[in-house]
Amino acid sequence: MAQNYFDRGEFDKAIIIYENLIKASPGNYQYFQKQVACYQQLKDFLKAENTIKNKLERSKLPQLYVELGYNYQLQNQPEKAKKNYDLAFQKIQENPNYVYGIAREFEVKVLLQQAIESYSIAQKLNPELNFDYQIALLQGQLGKIESMIDALLDYSGKFPDNLILVQNQLNRFMSEDHSKTFSDYLKKALLLRTQKSQDLFWNRFMSWYFVQQKEYGKAFIQEKAIYKRSPESFSNVLTLARLASEEKENDVAREILEFVLANTQDRQIILDMKHSLLVMDVEKASPQEYPIISQKINQLFGEYGVSNSTLKVQILKAHFDAFYLKQFESAKSILTKALELPLNPFEKGYVKMELADVLLLDEKFNQAIIYYAQVEDDLPNDEMAHQASLKMAKASYYKGDFEWAQQQFKVLKSSVSQLIANDAMQLFLLISDNTVEDSTQVALKKYARADFMIYQNKNNEALEQFKAILNQHKGESIEDETLLQIGKIYEKLGDYQQAVNYYQQIIDRFPEEIYIDEALFFSAEIYRKNLLDNEKAKSLYEKILFNHQDSIYFVEARNNFRKLRGDTNL
């Protein structure tokens, strides 16, 4: 109750309760601090002073000199305040271990320079004590960013076991660094240490920095230098390849995988690298390249056989047969035979998920839903189960069972995975909006059918269907979603000018609807990567930064805007 009064600023009520609490528990330091704070808020500084002096006389706690000095400071009596702060410093000189309570008290009172002095005195007196980390963060709070960065880097060099602690702090500052000055100085400081020292510690730190900036090519340069001098493991290099692949930096990912392939004799690693390279080949393959890809997959089977170790290759072949060659029976056969292998629950989950995807592609909706449900049941609370739940809901949506799909999307829009939650939210709103306006769901059924054609990779047929929806349902709520899908299909087909034309219609006509940030971001990406109009891209990114801070594309838009503006150049 006292805390509640205190938080609401009703200090006259809070102090009555705290005084009673102190009588019952005279040794409770938290009650004492609140009692003093109430007196100070009520401008009763004499009571606060007497309370502190009585506590000091009884307990001899050295941090009470900070409390007393601060009480004088609140009364604008700097000389008396300094006298008590000096007494606190004197106590640290008598016993350096007093620094913990005294420095903390200075920090709580936001007396940061005095906190730094406390730590510095203790370190000089007892070299076994190290407060470089605490001093560095205090320098940052004082706005001395360069001093903070240098101190944190030096601390991490001295105590490499605390590297993650330091990197977490640096990452927090980088995420709040809107002017990019912090990131630029950190980069410069790391480069200097990398050049001056032969210690691979700094190359690893430099690689970490480039990963945070999503500059995977530069991170790979550091990882190559590390591997050449210490060829112990590919784990960091492979992690980098995965990150680059997830961010669609496929050229960098391919370069990394080929580097690993050229520098290993390990059969399992070679298999994994060849599989990963094949996945990239499949994603960008044209029909003319299909026979070559089939041959490469079959060569892997010829070399490694069909077993648990080649499970990923079996799944890839099934996926390729179904989604690219439209050989559904072959794909089902491969996956059904894979389920006969001695697999662990996660491996079974991967196979069943792919089998469900193939059945869905073949319009075997109910069979697909059964397998998705099995994955959901077999791996409760796992990310794969959440993915299966989303796919199961989508399967119902594709076949027109909107009521059941809507119930699932309602649950999934609260998912811990932002991507799943975002997908579920969009489909939940799609069904809701287009059911309220049209209870017969005519436009929604056409839209879901066209959406399913995209899943089937029938892009031209989907394009015609979406255009028909625009003509037949002009002015209805489904129009902005349809424009977005048409833009995405044109983008996939490489007709970038048509894609931005359709995105522009959303920007011009539906600025208050939920797809505005997608239209802005997708357009900006096309102008940056494909149409090579950086000024246009910058203006679109800027609109996201100023008007759509809650967008899932905000961070990426900010990073790309800074790159176009040249902020990463030292």
In this structure, the number of other CB atoms found within 10 A of the CB of residue 272 comes to 20
**Contact at 8 Å (CB) between 182 and 145?**
yes
143, HSE (Cβ side, Cα atoms, 13 Å)? 0
CA 227 to CA 20: how far, in whole Å?
A: 66
For the chain, the distance separating the N- and C-terminal CA atoms, rounded to the nearest angstrom, is: 55
- In angstroms, the CA 373 to CA 356 distance is 10
pLDDT tens digit at each of 570 positions of the chain: 989 988 989 899 999 998 999 899 988 889 988 999 999 999 999 999 999 999 999 989 999 999 999 999 999 999 999 999 999 999 999 999 999 999 999 999 999 999 999 999 999 999 889 999 999 999 999 989 999 999 999 999 999 999 999 999 999 888 776 567 888 899 999 999 999 988 999 999 999 999 998 899 999 999 999 998 888 788 889 899 989 988 888 899 999 999 999 999 989 999 999 999 999 999 888 899 999 999 999 999 889 999 999 999 999 999 999 999 999 999 999 999 999 999 999 999 999 999 999 999 999 999 999 999 999 999 988 999 999 999 999 999 999 999 999 999 999 988 777 788 888 988 998 899 888 766 778 999 999 999 999 999 899 999 999 999 999 998 888 999 999 999 999 999 999 999 999 999 999 999 988 899 999 999 999 999 898 899 999 999 999 999 998 888 998 898 889 888 876 443
Cα–Cα distances in angstroms (integers) from residue 108 to residues 46, 63, 101, 112, in the given order: 21, 11, 11, 9
User: What would the DSSP string read from start to end of 158-215?
Assistant: H-GGGHHHHHHHHHHHHHT-TTSHHHHHHHHHHHHHHHH---HHHHHHHHHHHHHTT-
Question: Any idea what DSSP says for residue 307?
Answer: S
C-alpha distances out from residue 11 to 6, 7, 49, 67, 296, Å: 6, 9, 17, 19, 77
Structure token digits, residue 359: 């059945």
The DSSP annotation for 349-373 comes to HHHHHHHHHHHHHTT-HHHHHHHHH
Q: Are 320 and 282 in contact (CB under 8 A)?
A: yes
Nearest to 525 by CA among 561, 473, 484, 489: 561
Q: How many helices (H) and strands (E) does the chain have?
A: 32, 0
pTM, to two decimals: 0.74
Cα 185 from Cα 140, distance rounded (Å): 13
The CA distance from 541 to 560, in Å, is 8
